[in-house]
């Protein structure tokens, strides 16, 4: 039992096991109308990262949940990645986390108890790093390992950062490099070396806590985090919410160095194709771009970076804050434009 690989116990892993965007849209059709609760500041209507409910003029509570199946075989690393990913939704709203609850589904007759304990310990270590308690949760006996968090945070209503408040002319800043799904697939195929694995863990366990800091800047108009739908999918959500288009500079996109070679070989999870099929009608690709570059835009990012829509005059300060917070790869990757909700890539 000690030789059991977590990724072999599940049919998918990380944010790559999200329901395909087109399928999810069909499931939720008609269910996104805003409910008649005036203090519900953010619901499901714009596919934002978390729900937000105003308690009073000074406080709003931010609530989210995120869980998935293993993306790596190391139990503690799986727990760390899942917890980091869940807390990212709080930071993406500009909020500060205050508490978390664990979501646990485990094949208890297959996995050793020490492995399950290690998964939970990994998640708890991330909550400790974030300065919040992991205050309980719920567990079930499940056929595949599942772990994640319910995360709660607080934000001043005036500092809330929706994914729908971007403005024409804003620059787009991406906080983490792309390629997480590609590296995870390479690992499953036995192709990822130790350096590549360390890069995967480094990116996926970096807390996006800089989002709470960015919330205090008026020129940061919108925030979201890049996860299972890839940069393309989450950028389109931002565009649709603001009724704007976007242009991406392919050469400016940060990419995990170890992932580029695998991407060029066509290695990547099946979720890339599902994402591209869902968003193909809203994508304009300049001549000369390689197929692997377009696939990279749809690579599902587990615990990916924040995507900020920022007034041009504030871009250097926002970049500086990303870099000071430990996101050395953060870069300006594009701009928002007038027009239909489409993404042009050159």
Active site residues: 15
Closest C-alpha among 67, 43, 106 to residue 227: 67
| 3-state DSSP assignment of residue 241 | helix
Structure tokens at 94: 């500009």
Q: How far, in Å, CA of 315 to CA of 322, rounded?
A: 11
160-198 burial, b for 16+ CB within 10 Å, e for fewer? bbbbbbbeeebbbbbbbbbbbbbbbbbbbeeebeeebbe
- Residue 243's DSSP bridge partners are none
Alpha helices (H) along the chain: 21-28, 75-92, 113-130, 180-188, 194-204, 210-214, 230-242, 257-264, 271-279, 291-297, 315-324
DSSP string, 10-35: SSS-GGGGSPPHHHHHHHHTT--SPP
Token couple for 196: 């590549």
Query: Do 174 and 330 form a contact (C-beta atoms < 8 A)?
Result: yes
Which 3 state secondary structure label does DSSP give 139?
strand
What is the H or E stretch that residue 307 is in?
A: strand 306-310
Q: How far is CA 236 from CA 126, 135, 239, 241, in A?
A: 30, 35, 5, 8
Residue with tokens 């399950």: 116
For the beta carbon of residue 232, count every other beta carbon within 10 angstroms.
Answer: 25
Instruction: Report the alpha-carbon distance of residue 126 to residue 148 in Å, rounded.
Output: 12
Q: What is the largest CA-CA distance in the chain?
A: 57
Alpha carbon separation from 325 to 201, 214, 328 (Å, rounded): 17, 11, 8
């Amino acid at each position: 039992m000690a030789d059991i690989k977590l990724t072999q116990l599940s049919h998918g892993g990380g944010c790559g096991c999200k329901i395909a965007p087109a399928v999810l849209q069909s499931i939720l059709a008609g269910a996104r109308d805003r409910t008649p609760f005036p203090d519900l500041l953010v619901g499901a209507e714009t596919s934002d990262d978390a729900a937000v409910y105003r308690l009073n003029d000074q406080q709003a509570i931010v609530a989210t949940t995120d869980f998935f199946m293993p993306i790596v075989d190391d139990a503690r690393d799986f727990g760390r990645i899942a917890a980091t990913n869940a807390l990212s939704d709080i930071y993406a709203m500009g909020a500060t986390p205050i508490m978390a609850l664990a979501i646990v589904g485990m094949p208890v007759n297959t996995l050793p108890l020490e492995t399950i304990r290690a998964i939970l310990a990994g998640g708890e270590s991330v909550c400790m790093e974030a300065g919040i308690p992991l205050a309980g949760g719920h567990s079930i006996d499940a056929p595949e390992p599942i772990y994640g968090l319910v995360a709660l945070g607080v934000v001043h209503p005036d500092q809330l950062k929706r994914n729908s408040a971007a403005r024409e002319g804003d620059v787009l800043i991406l906080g983490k490099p792309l390629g997480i799904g590609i590296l995870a697939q390479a690992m499953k195929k036995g192709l990822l070396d130790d350096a590549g694995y360390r890069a995967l863990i480094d990116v996926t366990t970096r807390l996006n806590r800089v989002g709470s800091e960015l919330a205090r800047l008026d020129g940061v108009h919108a925030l979201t985090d890049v996860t299972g739908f890839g940069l393309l999918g989450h950028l389109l959500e931002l565009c649709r919410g603001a009724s704007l288009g976007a242009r991406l500079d392919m050469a400016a996109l940060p990419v995990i160095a170890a992932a580029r070679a695998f991407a060029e070989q066509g290695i990547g999870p099946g979720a890339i194709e599902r994402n591209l099929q869902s968003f193909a009608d809203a994508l304009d690709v300049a001549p000369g771009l390689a197929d692997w570059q377009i696939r990279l835009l749809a690579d599902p990012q587990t615990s990916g970076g924040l995507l900020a829509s920022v007034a041009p005059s504030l871009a250097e300060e926002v970049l500086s804050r990303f870099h000071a917070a430990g996101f050395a790869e953060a870069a300006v990757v594009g701009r928002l434009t007038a027009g239909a909700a489409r993404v042009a890539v050159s």
